[in-house]
Amino acid sequence: MISSLGAEGIAVPPGFATTSHAYWQYIDANGIREKIAALVEDWQSSRTSLANTGQSVRNLFLHSAWPADVEAAIRTAYRELSAKAGIENLSVAVRSSATAEDLPDASFAGQQESYLNIWGEDALLNACRRCYASLFTDRAIMYRQAKGFDHLSIALSIGVQRMVRSDASGSGVMFSIDTESGFDKIVLINAAWGLGENIVQGTVNPDEYQVFKPLLGDSSLVPIIDKKRGEKAIKMVYGDKQTPTRNVPTSKAEQAALVLSDKEILQLGRWACMIEKHYGCPMDMEWAKDGITDELFIVQARPETVHSRRDVAVFKTYKVRNKGRVLTTGLSISDAAVSGRICLVESAKDLDKFVDGSILVTGATDPDWVPIMRRAVALVTDHGGRTSHAAIVSRELGLPAVVGTANATYVLHTGQDVTVSCAEGNIGFVYEGISDITTQTVDPKGLPSVRTNIMLNLANPTAAYRWWRLPADGIGLARMEFVVSNAIQVHPMALIHFDLLKDEKAKDKIARLTVGYDHKPDYFVEKLAHGFAALCAVFYPKPAIIRMSDFKTNEYAGLIGGAEFEPKEENPMLGFRGASRYYSPRYREGFALECRAIRRLREEMGFKNAVVMIPFCRTVGEAKLVLEVMAENGLKRGENDLKVYVMCEIPSNVILAAQFTEHFDGFSIGSNDLTQLTLGVDRDAGELADLFNEQDEAVKWMIARVIAVAREKGCKIGICGQAPSDHPEFAKFLVQAGINSISVIPDSFVAVMMHVVASEGCMTSDG
């Protein structure tokens, strides 16, 4: 990177490396090659233990002398490095790199040691000896044995690099793809205060940022899809000569703050793209920020070794049914789910107590834990982020893991039956009991092409990346309510009028959720924009249709602080919902925040594929009022390619369809509401369930009528509902009626596509 990418602006700390030839010189000059071979052979023949073998081999390295020419070369290179920095006895990082690391079918993540804040020639030479010795830690010996590598064919190079003063700032790890789904259009960045070892070891819960790669080339945009603040309870800082590094608690201010600014996040994102392009494959990189100079540096890069081995054309999906209560949650590693019995192991000294085939629960893992991780069916940890040792090794082993729960070792116990689900997005769940788990394998390359657009209904931003391989034509329905309920949790009016709230418990919850936001409404805008950014990114630049809020009053009242702003209604289903709220004094300010979030999404972040959709718009006059309020808030139909759709879910939308087309660019048929209002049946009334039928002739007449008008007026029209998934004949009806798109849940995508293929085939054969 120094020689090839330095000119392009990527900063890499200067340094030097010892060669693998120097390693062999060290071995042969001390006559220890045969001794190592004999010790390893004794272990392989079961004449001695692994622990004794490893310790004996390491002692050979630690008590050997340097060949004169190798020692002189290291001392000279270190002096020159110190002189260039203008510092006597420069502080350096001493990093190990084995010759068989990061092969397509083998990754040695964390196998060899690195040493930080080493200064002085003698200390450097000792650290290099320890690097050589770490080639024969117990875990490294076992790993090579499992992979069938010859222990005496692996050499080790040592990278000696000027230390970046991240002890006075922060550091972290980043990947040029999503680590769980393999989605190749984002950069994932983890960050914590201090030296980076804590992130790798998984002893801190770091910040997490996501950057959208396709929009990084436009310097006017800020395509940061997500920013999550981690706990960052400790940080590693410089120590003394005897203990070069040590951990100290972070301050409350550090825990509440993000490590990186938006500008720094974008800079790292651009560097990740450049490094990936240079090496021609997804990359796993370490970065550090110098707290003295405020400069960012890339300190290490290696190929990503998990998704590069996968068959990207085929993917398996998991569905978990009959879930027990949620026991704990954390970050989801992998996309699988498994049920089993817990074995809680609190420390490395108790590893022998692990029961094969159990779900391993512990605080954190390091490379010493790999042998029992191989024997586990799943992993749950208290600490760690997506780039921790536990996460990296779990991916390499194909092990579903939930990391960074903060409380797993407190709330779970040995012998407990649970289900570990990593199949529901970025959040991993541990459910009580044994759930029903089903799987489906999909090969997108084997799917046929169709004329009717097949789109997806997606609500959960954290699960969106799972579906990027499907050949969908975009997102046909993204519900704002899901993002508000799960990511925001607070009623927007309670944020706007926070000081006037009477509910002290609600005020306390809001205060905790909005830490770091000086202006509380900004919390709503940022969280909403980030939630929709993840959805817009999945199939970019194909359209993503975002439905503005459609909570009923009783649902709004359930949000934090919401009860003080919502009227009580006898029939919320037909009450103050959808378009009627947007221009009402009761909610107009809240709708303005929704508009601000969409404007930020489209204009600041760059997701112009976002299409706005208005729900439950009862009259043409109401349509005009809503569009006026949107324009007042910077969202004017037609400007900056903004398209505005309307839900077709009320008979008036069908009866006056031609007039509605004058104000909207498209319709999306909401078959549930349209059915209940056409037939006069409450869709939630159990006694009338038999009467609620989306295929009733009256409902089909409504649908066929609005499709015909939309096509005549050149207006797009689609449908978002379950009926095309469940009933092939309904899909055929829609296709024959001339619908432009059918939007379904991801699990139904393949089935609906096949229904559409059959329907289009019938139309062709019918002439």
Q: Considering 389, 491, 530, 755, which one is annotated as catalytic? A: 389
Q: Which of 422, 536, 715, 720 is catalytic?
A: 720
Parallel/antiparallel/unpaired status of strands 186-193 and 170-175? antiparallel
The alpha carbon of 55 is separated from its chain's Cα centroid by a whole number of angstroms, namely: 40
3-class SS string, 701-767: HHHHHHHHHHHHCCCEEEEECCHHHHCHHHHHHHHHHCCCEEEECHHHHHHHHHHHHHHHHHHHHCC
- The C-alpha atoms of residue 128 and residue 73 are separated, in whole angstroms, by 13
Q: DSSP alpha helices (H): ranges in 164-303?
A: 197-201, 252-256, 262-279
Pairing of strands 436-442, 315-321: antiparallel
Distance in angstroms (rounded) separating the CA atoms of residues 54 and 42: 11
Query: What is the residue type of 429?
Result: F
Strand 170-175 versus strand 156-162 pairing type: unpaired
CA-to-CA distance for 377 and 579, rounded, in angstroms?
49
Concerning whether 762 is annotated as a catalytic residue, the answer is: no
Does residue 698 contact residue 681 with C-beta atoms inside 8 Å?
Answer: no
The answer to whether 199 and 171 have CB atoms below 8 angstroms apart is yes
Q: Report the alpha-carbon distance of residue 767 to residue 133 in Å, rounded.
A: 77
Burial environment of residue 563 by CB neighbours within 10 A (0 to 12, 13 to 18, 19 or more)? middle
The C-alpha atoms of residue 225 and residue 178 are separated, in whole angstroms, by: 12
User: DSSP letters of 295-359?
Assistant: -EEEEEEEE--SGGGS-TT-EEEEEEES---EEEEEEEESS-EEEEEEEE--SGGGGGGPPTTSE
Tokens of 242: 């005897």
Concerning whether 617 is annotated as a catalytic residue, the answer is: no
Q: Which residue has the tokens 């509440």?
A: 256
Residue written as token pair 């997102």: 475
Contacts of 259 (CB under 8 A, 6+ apart): 169, 170, 172, 191, 192, 193, 206, 207, 232, 289
Q: Which one, of 9, 79, 288, 11, lies nearest residue 165 by Cα?
A: 288
- Helices 20-29 and 33-44, interaxial angle, to 10°? 90
Place of tokens 């799917």: 447
Beta strands in 576-658 (DSSP E): 610-614, 644-648
Separation between Cα atoms, residue 444 and residue 442, nearest integer Å: 6
What DSSP string describes 406-470? SSHHHH--TT-EEEEE--SSSEEEEEES--EEEEEEE-GGGSPP-SSEEEEE---GGGGGGGTTS
User: What amino acid positions are annotated as catalytic residues?
Assistant: 389, 720
